[in-house]
């Protein structure tokens, strides 16, 4: 190990390294844009999108800001950007509750345009640091303003004009296509080209799962792995938030703490925040007891988010990947911002990658810190592998670290697309590094095995534009001047011919011969210039 790496390792062991993960990420400005068209009365009759959106707001940090926009024929701002302190959170959740299902039409262009303008007016800078600006757009329909020709024009205006403006403003759009009646192709394209993530909610009872997935993508929270509704809390966990899915609205979720003590919404400790919705319950426990916890009367789709000094960090940051590309996976443990390199901890650590594929199947791969494929240096605390997707569609990574004394999990979602045909327009931006995920510590370059380059803001994965064989600057001033001389000579030659014809008609023989001689001389000059 080089002296620089030895110093870095020592600093990491002392936990005095500069934060490289969640603590260093910029706060969010989020515009929640929710469909209020009349069709939502049929597709979401119990308005389950309302508690799901409120759950999303509750999961964000106090430094984040959220605005609420509803749309149908036009867009309506129900609440401007508010910081998520206690008063701000209450105001945002009240605004979410004002979303109706009474609109006549579905104007997606107005919805996105209004949200973008709202975020632009918000400034997006705090303490000299640029906030990440996000639109979360949910719709169950296609562009419909009552005029098919205008619908088509607005779709083109959205794709060809507004999307480019969003990219220029660095505003990313996370879209939720609700039911198969929505314009999935349009919502997917808007998300992909702005560097956001396309999501599908096939039914109203999974809204909270989709909003939870978007939260995980935006904030990359530390989590505890849950197996058979059981999870382990260690002493480094400062706060625990459980989101438990319910079999039915009548289900009452029960938490069993270490020692066998059971809690429900009715019997919870006064310090515990417990909210109940038809499809899920959300429980936040400060300073939870360490040991094994269990969730009763719940489905398998549960999450345990934590606030802790000991968590997983990763360099994963690409939400849109081309089929055939390798995806480098680099992950490490951080303790209070420093990379954990203590051999006694790493030797006991199992680091696995669990992959959910588009066809519903799963795969598992082991991450290694052995200097093998994708790993830069053995024993540096960074565990790596390279994953190569074989199918197009949505993927989810679960990074799980298990030791004798603690367990951690982090998730990451992305979509895989077919490469564009040669000469076609590029697929739009990939999620740029530095905003989402952390750079692998103490490394000069990403791990090997990445078949395609990672594009920054405004980049893409299409074919590179063909380059001209002509050297830049070949059309110099000299070339322009030469063309002007040739044109001048040709014009004078034509003029001479015209005069010659006139003289011939007037039978001015001697003068005609002189003009003929002049014309011949001009023709000779033109010939030399062309040579």
In CATH, what number is assigned to the domain containing residue 253? Answer: 2.60.40.10
Structural domain for 63, as ranges: 26-219
Query: Is it the case that residue 444 has pLDDT exceeding 50?
Result: no
What pLDDT does 379 receive? 87
Query: Is it the case that residue 100 has pLDDT exceeding 70?
Result: yes
Lowest mean pLDDT among 92-96, 399-403, 463-467, 515-519: 463-467
171 and 258 inside one domain: no
288 and 357 inside one domain: no
Under the banding of pLDDT at 50, 70 and 90, the label for residue 180 is: confident
Lowest mean pLDDT among 99-108, 109-118, 412-421: 412-421
Q: Report helix, strand or coil for 234.
A: coil
Burial class (CB in 10 A: 0-12, 13-18, 19+), 254: middle
Which of 106, 120, 100 shows the shortest CA–CA distance to 31? 120
191 and 232 inside one domain: no
The verdict on residue 163 lying in a domain is: yes
80 and 171 inside one domain: yes
Whole-number Å distance between alpha carbons of 37 and 413: 29
**Residue environment code for 279-305, b if the CB has 16+ CB neighbours within 10 A, otherwise e:** bbbbbbbeebeeeebbbeebeebbbbb
The residue that leads in pLDDT, 123 or 513, is 123
Query: Is it the case that residue 440 has pLDDT exceeding 90?
Result: no
- Are 101 and 65 in contact by the 8 Å Cβ rule? The answer is no
Query: Is it the case that residue 267 has pLDDT exceeding 50?
Result: yes
Under the banding of pLDDT at 50, 70 and 90, the label for residue 459 is: very low
- Are 245 and 208 in contact by the 8 Å Cβ rule? The answer is yes
Q: Report helix, strand or coil for 515.
A: helix
For the chain, give the number of residues: 531
66 and 188 inside one domain: yes
The verdict on residue 61 lying in a domain is: yes
162 and 42 inside one domain: yes
The verdict on residue 287 lying in a domain is: yes
- Are 340 and 333 in contact by the 8 Å Cβ rule? The answer is yes
Please state, for a pLDDT cut of 90, what percent of the chain lies above it. Answer: 68
Q: Give the helix/strand (H/E) hosting 334.
A: strand 327-335
The residue that leads in pLDDT, 173 or 372, is 173
Under the banding of pLDDT at 50, 70 and 90, the label for residue 123 is: confident
163 and 199 inside one domain: yes
Q: Where among 417, 447, 472 does a domain terminate?
A: 417
Angle between helix 49-59 and 86-96 (nearest 10): 160
Q: What are the angstrom distances between the C-alpha of 267 and each of 261, 273, 274?
A: 11, 12, 10
What pLDDT does 441 receive? 65
The verdict on residue 282 lying in a domain is: yes
Tokens of 97: 């509750």
The verdict on residue 449 lying in a domain is: no
Q: Where among 219, 248, 263 does a domain terminate?
A: 219
Number of domains the chain is built from: 4
What pLDDT does 179 receive? 87
The verdict on residue 466 lying in a domain is: no
Specify the CATH number for the domain of residue 53: 3.40.50.410
Segment 187-233, tens digit of pLDDT: 999 999 999 999 999 999 999 999 999 999 999 999 999 999 999 99
Report DSSP state, residue 160: I
318 and 295 inside one domain: no
Rounded mean pLDDT, 92-118? 96
The verdict on residue 153 lying in a domain is: yes
**Which residue, chain included where needed, has tokens 């989709």?**
210
Q: Give the helix/strand (H/E) hosting 147.
A: none
Query: Is it the case that residue 66 has pLDDT exceeding 60?
Result: yes
127 and 64 inside one domain: yes
Q: Where among 301, 336, 354 does a domain terminate?
A: 301
210 and 62 inside one domain: yes
Query: Is it the case that residue 518 has pLDDT exceeding 60?
Result: no
Query: Is it the case that residue 125 has pLDDT exceeding 80?
Result: no
Please state, for a pLDDT cut of 70, what percent of the chain lies above it. Answer: 74
Segment 8-39, tens digit of pLDDT: 343 333 333 333 344 346 899 999 999 999 99
What pLDDT does 514 receive? 45
209 and 238 inside one domain: no
Whole-number Å distance between alpha carbons of 224 and 214: 18
**Which residue, chain included where needed, has tokens 């830069």?**
376
Rounded mean pLDDT, 442-465? 35
Segment 335-374, tens digit of pLDDT: 988 999 999 999 999 999 999 999 999 999 999 998 887 7
Rounded mean pLDDT, 521-526? 49
The verdict on residue 438 lying in a domain is: no
382 and 281 inside one domain: no
What pLDDT does 477 receive? 39
Lowest mean pLDDT among 149-153, 374-378, 389-393: 374-378
């Amino acid at each position: 190990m080089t002296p620089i790496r030895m110093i870095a390792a020592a600093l990491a062991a002392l936990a005095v390294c500069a934060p490289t993960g969640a603590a260093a990420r910029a706060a969010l400005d989020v515009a929640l844009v929710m469909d209020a068209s009349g069709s939502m009365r049929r597709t979401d009759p119990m308005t389950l999108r309302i508690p799901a959106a409120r759950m999303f707001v509750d999961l964000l940090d106090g430094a984040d800001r959220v605005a609420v926009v509803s749309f149908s024929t036009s867009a309506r701002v129900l609440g401007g950007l508010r910081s998520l302190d206690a008063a701000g959170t209450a105001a945002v959740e009240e605004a979410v509750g004002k979303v109706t299902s009474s609109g006549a039409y579905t104007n997606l262009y107005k919805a996105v345009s209004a949200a973008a303008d709202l975020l632009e007016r918000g400034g997006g800078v705090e303490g000299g640091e640029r906030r990440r600006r996000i639109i979360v757009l949910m719709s169950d329909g296609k562009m419909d303003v009552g005029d098919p020709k205008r619908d088509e024009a607005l779709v083109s205006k959205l794709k060809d004009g507004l999307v480019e403006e969003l990219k220029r403003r660095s505003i990313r759009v996370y879209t939720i296509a609700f039911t198969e009646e929505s314009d999935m192709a349009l919502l997917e394209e808007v998300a992909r080209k702005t560097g956001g993530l396309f999501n599908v909610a096939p039914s109203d009872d999974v809204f909270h799962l989709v909003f939870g997935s978007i939260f995980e993508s935006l904030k990359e929270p530390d989590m505890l792995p849950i197996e058979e509704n059981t999870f382990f809390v260690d002493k480094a966990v400062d706060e625990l938030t459980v989101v438990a899915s319910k079999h039915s609205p009548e289900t009452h979720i029960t938490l069993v703490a270490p020692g066998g003590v059971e809690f429900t919404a009715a019997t919870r400790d006064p310090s515990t925040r417990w909210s109940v919705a038809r499809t899920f319950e959300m429980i936040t426990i400060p300073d939870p007891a360490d040991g094994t916890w269990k969730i009763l009367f719940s489905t398998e789709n549960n999450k345990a988010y934590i606030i802790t000094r000991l968590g997983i960090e990763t360099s994963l940051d690409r939400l849109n990947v081309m089929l055939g590309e390798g995806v480098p996976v680099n992950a490490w443990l951080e303790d209070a911002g420093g990379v954990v390199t203590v051999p006694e901890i790493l030797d006991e650590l199992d680091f696995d990658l669990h992959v959910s594929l588009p066809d519903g199947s799963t795969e598992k791969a082991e991450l290694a810190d052995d200097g093998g494929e994708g790993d830069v240096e053995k024993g540096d605390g960074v565990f790596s592998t390279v994953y190569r997707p074989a199918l197009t569609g949505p993927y989810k990574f679960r990074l799980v670290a298990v030791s004798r004394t603690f367990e951690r999990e982090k998730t990451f979602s992305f979509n895989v697309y077919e490469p564009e045909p040669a000469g076609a327009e590029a697929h739009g931006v990939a999620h740029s590094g530095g905003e989402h995920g952390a750079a692998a510590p103490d490394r000069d370059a990403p791990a090997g095995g990445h078949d395609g380059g990672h594009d920054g803001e405004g980049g893409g994965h299409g074919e590179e534009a063909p380059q001209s064989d002509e050297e830049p600057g070949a059309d110099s001033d000299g070339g322009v001047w030469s063309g002007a001389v040739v044109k001048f000579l040709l014009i004078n030659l034509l003029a001479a011919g015209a005069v010659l014809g006139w003289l011939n008609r007037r039978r001015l023989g001697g003068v005609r011969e002189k003009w003929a001689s002049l014309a011949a001389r001009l023709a000779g000059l033109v010939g030399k210039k062309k040579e």
